[in-house]
A and B are shown apart, each in its own frame.
Chain A
């Protein structure tokens, strides 16, 4: 019986700049169904955190309830974690981020946790541009309660018992763009070559970075007629561009046809390099991003890759001018600056 993962790793595993090999970013052995897309996304998160040289104790992973929200147990065991109430991860994340701006915030949610019970929280965390990465592991069904259609199940999609979904689906990526998210991407759990650079870019983005990842439920929603099965997604996936995340400015040597490649600089000096851009799409232009998503939908395609980003993102801390130090590092002298300072404040109000 194997409930434990062997401790041995490949003897030649590379180390990142911190001297850690990728196994330092692993978590416990997954208890999700064998073949669950969520496990692939977890592996993508592990890889991204490893490649970004993130110190595990400088990251907080937050989640709500559901299969997706169980996954933080399966990656980054050495990081902070908070498994919140169903659909309430955004408020916990907001509170944590307000208190300690020095951590990297990584939220994991599912289609139920975000598009149903947590919708009220989701829309507000988007419009506030909280500096966090928010991944939805989207399988179009409630896997934890045996596969009922969720709010992201497409109209006409057939579930495992043969029932056809009658309702319109909520398109989370469109909604995020609409609400002013400053980084919106879409991906597929079965394509790590796209997913890992997207997660890395999202984690480097100063502001709310949203990734909607189609992640097939292998037990309840991988049947013929489902629009969230491995086969269907593979057949209907269309990428905006191939993406590379370049940690620091290097001379770009690859030669691409003019107009077919684009570099987007992030605040920390890193780059997102996009190649083979889809026609008529500009990742920095919200309208063209919305058009691209809608056009793809009309063609029954699933558009993946980076959809939109605003390189001039102003995150919540900057917007409301919070303390530039984590609250736990403030000294008494910062918190009680003395009567002279109080006088100055009062004088300002006269």
Chain B
């Protein structure tokens, strides 16, 4: 087999593996291992974050986490929900001022988020897959943005 063909085959192999490597940058919706469900729909996640649903199916209160200073992941997450960060925060401000609940606690970086979710029962958050460990439950993977 001549050398050029090997190179071409090698490149093809790299291209074939790229989805796997891209999956590392996927944003995952994660939850504490104890939450009573294994997956969530987009609508349900939106309902949690807008405060329309505040309890898990077993009655335990939902604890929402947010990131800060990680615009890439946050943008992916909020645009997946169809609400901009400012609109979401406006809602949270409304709720807070109306005394209906505190805004989500924030954590700087994916690892801090994963650690916080793992250590807080009933917690739900989001992080890049690369930072996700077995200590948390992945409820939904936000797919790659369509070109």
Task: Decide whether A and B assemble into one complex.
Answer: no
Q: Which residues of A contact B (CB under 8 A)?
A: none
